[in-house]
Structure 1
Amino acid sequence: MPVPTTNAAPPRELLRDRALHALRAAIVDGTLEPGERLVDAELCAWLGVSRTPVREALTQLERTGLVQIRPGSRTLVAPLDVRAAVEAQAVAASMHELAAREAVPLSGESHRELMAAANAQFAHALGSGDVDAAIAADDAFHHVFVDLAANRRLAGILDDVTPLLRRMERVRFASLSGRSSVAQHSSIIELTQAGDADGAAALVRANWLTLKP
């Protein structure tokens, strides 16, 4: 076929997703602070996209509790909401429990090695007080089960609720550094190696419920 002479424009859905991921990350890591006003023109210039994908991303972020949209007025980064974080925690714990129960029978040595490596990184990050690295390593540990379970609805729910927890966790750093998750992670790996899906699932749930929003 002839080579196109111009590049096709990226699908709008991809632009929306790019805007969504960038905005969500900036809210979770505190670059965009609670109560900060979000101006469409500024966001478009920053993200390099038009207003439509920006508004679609903001609407999605409002649905998940990270943004407040006041029609005809302004859009704000949502304030920290402890009750919302507690609700998100309960959902996240249940979803990760389900992922573990489905994933353990499918797991192999390579998966346990990934979990062990992520846990080692998590322990190192906690020891050095690096909250960004600790959260990334914790996510990597739990996503081994989520990816293995390959349940798209489960993953979609976690994609919605996890940012609320991580945002609160960054602000309350002591709740992260004081967790006993390293030992719990090690026990989860041991139960996985033993093929104990119910035991691993129960401990994964308990692990997520140790967060203190």
Structure 2
Amino acid sequence: MPDKPAPDASRRSEKSRRAIYAAALALVAETGYPKTTIEAIAARAGVGKQTIYRWWPSKADVLMEAFLDLGEQAAARQEGARADRQPDGIPDTGDLAADLKTVLRATVDALFDPAFEAPARALAAEGLVNDQVGRQYVAKLLQPQLELYVHRLRSAQDTGAVRPDIDPRIALELFVSPLAQRWLQRTAPVSYEYTDTLVDYALHGLAPR
């Protein structure tokens, strides 16, 4: 009898990791963050509880890593679909308004992607009352995205499209923060027209010229 090949431990671990990611995202969408437990994630993923604790110290770490992985997969698909996309994720065509509108429209699509929306809402809401989740949400997810806007606005300053005395970190909040608030609180509809208007208002101001 020929010897059977030994099981590939790395492949088995990756399969388990993917199952845990999927279970964590599904549970937080279905039951919310407070009711999602390590035990429930393990049962849903078909792994032992100790398998999860071997890789992550808490459910917050599991969920955040799963969510970040979800975003990376979406970005990879988008990268493959768009040959003109810049490596840093923000286009720089020389037209700042058009570039910001393009990015914000893509953000609207992501915010209402069924796979993304429920866990994103759960983690964002939990981050407001849970310091650990809030710190991770900002450091691992929000801040890297904001830095992309800072980089693009600084590029616009270099070309004279934005005043040199503007603080890019404050300026980006003129269009990013209203979108996030409207999406999270559902105070009004979110659309391409809305995000285009945010960019127009932010770049051209409200005062008559």
By percentage of residues, which structure has more strand? 1
Higher relative contact order, structure no. (Cα contacts within 8 Å, ≥ 6 residues apart): 1
Q: TM-score, normalised by structure 2?
A: 0.35
Q: TM-score, normalised by structure 1?
A: 0.35
In our comparison, the structure showing a higher alpha carbon Rg is 2
